[in-house]
């Protein structure tokens, strides 16, 4: 008999790539989501676009570093969308995924 263990207490960590979150966002997206103030990345590779004030997201990231759940801190209603960047059909994380944060201004100035 096959036994399958599902560990819901451990966050999924996808492979890291040698690019920053800012690079992933500017190289893979052409339009900033309406109402989003910033984007951050989760360990599963999801790039989360938030409508919360940037200062609240930064504070939330500090708290989430200990608790591991930014969504419960900011609230699901403040999440605009989640997008994934994949290489060879595998979601990836930026090398600075734990601390990276991209604002609309940074995005706009990078894509010209």
Q: What is the pTM of this model?
A: 0.84
What CA–CA distance (Å, rounded) separates 105 from 65?
Answer: 25
Whole-number pLDDT of residue 2? 75
Write out the two tokens for 72. 């419960």
**Domain layout of the chain by residue ranges:** 16-106
Which residue is associated with the tokens 């103030």? Answer: 37
Write out the two tokens for 91. 């979601």
Whole-number pLDDT of residue 59? 95
Which parts of the chain have pLDDT scores under 50? none
């Amino acid at each position: 008999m096959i036994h399958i263990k599902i560990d819901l207490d451990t966050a999924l960590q996808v492979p890291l790539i040698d690019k920053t979150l800012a690079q992933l966002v500017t190289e893979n997206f052409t339009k900033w989501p309406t109402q989003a103030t910033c984007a951050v990345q989760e360990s599963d590779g999801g790039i989360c676009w938030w409508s919360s004030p940037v200062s609240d997201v930064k504070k939330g990231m500090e708290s989430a570093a200990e608790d591991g759940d930014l969504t419960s801190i900011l609230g699901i209603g403040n999440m605009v969308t989640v997008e994934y960047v994949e290489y060879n059909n595998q979601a990836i994380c930026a090398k600075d995924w734990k601390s990276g944060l991209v604002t609309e201004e940074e995005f706009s100035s990078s894509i010209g």
